[in-house]
A = this chain, B = another copy of it.
Amino acid sequence: MIFSKRCLHALRAVLYVGTQPPERDYIPIREISTKLDIPFHFLTKILKDLADQGFIESSRGAAGGIRLAKPTAELNVKEIIESIEGEDYFSGCILGFSKCDAANPCALHDRWVAIKEEIQKMLGEEHLESLSTRIQEQGLRLLEM
């Protein structure tokens, strides 16, 4: 699996929030945890990080929970992933070298550059809006089956 559990939990959680009816304000983490079968306290920590990064907002107390901090069109999938996996998760060297570029390439550099740019392009184009729309219109799942 390419992504860590943290990352998958985070993505599924924001997608869940993004596909809720617009009249809902804060969504309780307990609800997300139950619906998506993600450990509650673990999810709480992950979402706290996303809140610190400015992707979501949280409110304590009764009627509290989390909501998206920006319109879904402005919440980029690549940015969310990189905030969890690290900025250079997709831009780094496939053989793990810290400085690998055209001037000083590793043995797979040239071939990997083309692919990683496509991955970044694909993920950079995907926002919560496009994904949420697709999930709602086509009934795509957020749950393991």
Contact = CB atoms under 8 A, between A and B. Distances in A.
Interface stretch (A23-31, A41-49, A137-145): A137-145
A73 interface: no
A96 B12 CA distance: 10
A105 interface: yes
A84 to B, nearest CB: 13
A122 interface: yes
A107 interface: yes
Nearest to A142: B107
B11 A95 contact: yes
A1 B96 contact: yes
A135 B108 CA distance: 10
